[in-house]
Amino acid sequence: MRWYSYFAYFFGGAFLVNAIPHFVNGVSGLSFPTPFASPPGRGRSSPTLNVLWGTLNAVVGYFLVCHVGEFHIRHIPDVLLSGAGGLLMALMLARAFGRLYGSPSNHTTGK
């Protein structure tokens, strides 16, 4: 496998995971932050823009995973690389949106 395939699988996994919250919020009719909002990543974009952004992330992730190199679902290094990229993106999103929306662990009970 060529060296750039490793990067493609890692970032492909990250793009695929990033597609999920945007697409789900968009099809649910909810506004959600995108890089196009004001301020970027903090302001909210329309559900339509989120569906489009989520779809673009899914397409980019698909091409990085499925069309760069030869990804094999039964080849453990391929799956680990894409999974690591997805996990890192999921942790980053959880942290960013936890701060933005105030996760329950950040709130006091008022007692």
Of 6, 15, 10, 4, nearest to 85 (Cα)?
10
Q: Does 15 reside within a domain?
A: yes
Q: Does 98 reside within a domain?
A: yes
Q: Does 53 reside within a domain?
A: yes
Tell me the per-residue pLDDT of 66-91, one tens digit each, with 9 for 90 and over. Answer: 999 888 888 898 899 999 999 999 99
Residue with tokens 């990085």, as numbered in its chain: 64
Q: Does 109 reside within a domain?
A: no
Q: Does 110 reside within a domain?
A: no
pLDDT at 110: 46
Instruction: Kindly tell me if the per-residue pLDDT of 1 is higher than 90.
Output: no
For residues 44-53, average pLDDT: 95
Structural domain harbouring 83:
3-102
pLDDT at 20: 97
Q: Does 108 reside within a domain?
A: no
Q: Does 27 reside within a domain?
A: yes
Structural domain total, the chain = 1
